[in-house]
Amino acid sequence: MKLNDISVRKAKPEAKPRKLSDGGGLYVLIHPNGGKYWQLAYRFAGKQKTLALGTYPDVSLADARDRRDQARKQITNGIDPGALKQTEKRQAKISAANTFEAVAREWVENRANDWTEGHKALTLNSLEQDTFPALGHRPIAEITPAELLAAMRAIEKRGALEIASRVLQRSSAVFRFAIATDRCKTNPATELRGALKKPKRSHYTTIDKGEFPKLLRDIDGYQGGRLTTCALQLMALTFTRTSELVEAEWKEIDLERAEWLIPAERMKMGRPHLVPLSRQAVAVFKEVAKLTSERQHAFPNRNDPSKPASKAIILRALGRMGYTGKMTGHGFRSAASTMLNEHKTKWGIHRDVIELQLAHVEKNASRAAYNFAEYLEERRTMMQQWADYLDKQKAGAEVIPLHGAAA
């Protein structure tokens, strides 16, 4: 006799477990404590087996019958439903252990011996900020291209198009690592080629890198005012924005610590910016100090010394040297960005360190905790490498920096 919902609901427990059969091997097992459990009795490969189908009333009689019918179809097709269920449980546990975040952290640790501590921290930091919130909890084998694209779109909405591209590259590396370690079968990042917006490039006038050595020599030989020569040299050495340099105040500059801290109100992004000074930059600032240390500004205005020099002094000087239409103040930043990125592998520099030194930190919530001294040691090393490289370019040969060059 088949069961009905009323008979199952009203069935009372007894001193010992008892079964109420519904047919086709399906029955509800009623425990002495009142618990009611749907089970299926079946034979597979000559062995009597039992398959749990859920508890009543969470699983209704109709649902239990559907599960019974599905299991019997599997048996007909040569599949043991009990073994299949155990396999699925094991796979679920594996998936839960192999989330995107777990695999990504393992990938970072796996690469640790190839990276500097700063590179490792920057890489992990970008994943923590831009992928873990959306994808970190997801089993890596289940993440679809659409999910990954949605996470990248969220970065794009902040206007951080370059960061979106970089995070996608890192995510792709995580998926490749997961494939190599048998945690997933496909890399959804490969399906997103061409899907992200490309950042609009601002084309500031700058000379070809092959002309840069001559420009550096022309600056050293500039026949204008000495302060202007020093300003041009510092533009090359620090690659700050023109206004940041010509409006610099002596209170911002600590030559003993070889640091220049530009306050937030003078920065485009509205955050303080720390510039580590190379030995060469310190030497130039010391020369400037001989001329203007009694003034508020390192480069005071010629007509009104209480004010900073005009931003136009850089462009005018470049024009007098024959670089009109070929080079601007911003061109020093463009040249530094290009050449530092070309040398980043050789010098052991992470691209994010270059971006931080260029003050290209996005103004968004994920960077709210931005520290102006972030990765200072990596940046300090990079700035000295850059200054030494400029010396080499000017000389046209390898230069061995003299000890005490900053004296």
**Same structural domain for residues 71 and 143?**
no
DSSP letter assigned to residue 366 = G
* Predicted confidence (pLDDT) per residue in 217-256, tens digit: 999 999 889 999 999 999 999 999 999 999 999 999 999 9
Calpha distance 161→369 (Å, rounded): 20
**Same structural domain for residues 129 and 85?**
no
Identify the residue whose tokens are 């007098």. Answer: 320
Q: Is the pLDDT of residue 406 over 90?
A: no
The CA dihedral of 222, 228, 231, 237, to the nearest 10 degrees, is 0
Q: Is the pLDDT of residue 88 over 90?
A: no
Find all residues with CB under 8 Å of 158, minimum gap 6, and list them: 362, 364, 366
Residue 262 has a CB neighbour count (10 Å cut-off) of 24
Residue 95 is predicted with a pLDDT of 60
Q: Do the beta carbons of residue 98 and residue 141 sit within 8 Å?
A: yes
Identify the residue whose tokens are 């001559």. Answer: 214
pTM flag (> 0.85): no
Q: Which of 60, 91, 122 is the last residue of a domain?
A: 91
- Does residue 319 belong to any structural domain of this protein? yes
Per-residue pLDDT band at 397 (split at 50, 70, 90): low
Calpha distance 102→99 (Å, rounded): 5
Q: Is 335 helix (H, G, I), strand (E, B) or coil?
A: helix
Query: Per the structure block, which two tokens stand in for 262?
Result: 């530009």
- Nearest to 189, CA basis, from 147, 245, 241: 147
Residue 271 is predicted with a pLDDT of 82
What is the domain-level CATH number for residue 18?
A: 3.30.160.390
What is the domain-level CATH number for residue 130?
A: 1.10.150.130
- Does residue 402 belong to any structural domain of this protein? no
Most confident of 36-50, 88-102, 261-275, 368-382: 36-50
If you average pLDDT over residues 105-120, what whole number do you get?
Answer: 84
- 382: burial class by Cβ within 10 Å (0-12, 13-18, 19+)? buried
**Same structural domain for residues 254 and 366?**
yes
- ∠ CA 376-377-382, nearest 5°, is 95
**Same structural domain for residues 248 and 121?**
no
- Does residue 178 belong to any structural domain of this protein? yes
If you average pLDDT over residues 56-84, what whole number do you get?
Answer: 92
**Same structural domain for residues 48 and 141?**
no
- ∠ CA 284-247-335, nearest 5°, is 60
Per-residue pLDDT band at 39 (split at 50, 70, 90): very high
Residue 398 is predicted with a pLDDT of 46
Residue 178 is predicted with a pLDDT of 93
**Same structural domain for residues 43 and 63?**
yes
Residue 268 has a CB neighbour count (10 Å cut-off) of 12
If you average pLDDT over residues 119-141, what whole number do you get?
Answer: 89
> Domain range for residue 351?
209-395
- Does residue 403 belong to any structural domain of this protein? no
Residue 158 is predicted with a pLDDT of 80
Residue 96 is predicted with a pLDDT of 66
**Same structural domain for residues 78 and 104?**
no
Residue 210 is predicted with a pLDDT of 86
* Predicted confidence (pLDDT) per residue in 153-202, tens digit: 998 888 778 888 889 999 999 999 999 999 899 999 999 988 998 876 55
DSSP letter assigned to residue 1 = -
Rounded to the nearest 10 degrees, what angle do helices 226-238 and 376-395 cross at? 120
What is the domain-level CATH number for residue 299?
A: 1.10.443.10
If you average pLDDT over residues 10-36, what whole number do you get?
Answer: 92
If you average pLDDT over residues 10-20, what whole number do you get?
Answer: 92
Residue 396 is predicted with a pLDDT of 79
Residue 400 is predicted with a pLDDT of 43
- Does residue 18 belong to any structural domain of this protein? yes
**Same structural domain for residues 66 and 125?**
no
**Same structural domain for residues 44 and 168?**
no
Per-residue pLDDT band at 405 (split at 50, 70, 90): very low
Residue 407 is predicted with a pLDDT of 29
Alpha helices in 111-189 (DSSP H): 117-130, 132-135, 145-157, 161-180
- Does residue 186 belong to any structural domain of this protein? yes
**Same structural domain for residues 111 and 54?**
no
Query: Per the structure block, which two tokens stand in for 82?
Result: 């009990």
Residue 200 is predicted with a pLDDT of 63
If you average pLDDT over residues 373-391, what whole number do you get?
Answer: 92
Q: Which of 158, 192, 226 is the last residue of a domain?
A: 192
Alpha helices in 321-396 (DSSP H): 329-347, 351-357, 376-395
Alpha helices in 348-375 (DSSP H): 351-357
Amino acid at 92: A
**Same structural domain for residues 338 and 278?**
yes
- Does residue 57 belong to any structural domain of this protein? yes
Q: Is the pLDDT of residue 363 over 70?
A: no
- 210: burial class by Cβ within 10 Å (0-12, 13-18, 19+)? exposed
**Same structural domain for residues 161 and 219?**
no
- Does residue 63 belong to any structural domain of this protein? yes
Q: Mind telling me the catalytic residues?
A: 241, 268, 330, 333, 360, 370
Q: Quote the number of domains for the chain.
A: 3
Query: Per the structure block, which two tokens stand in for 146?
Result: 């659409």
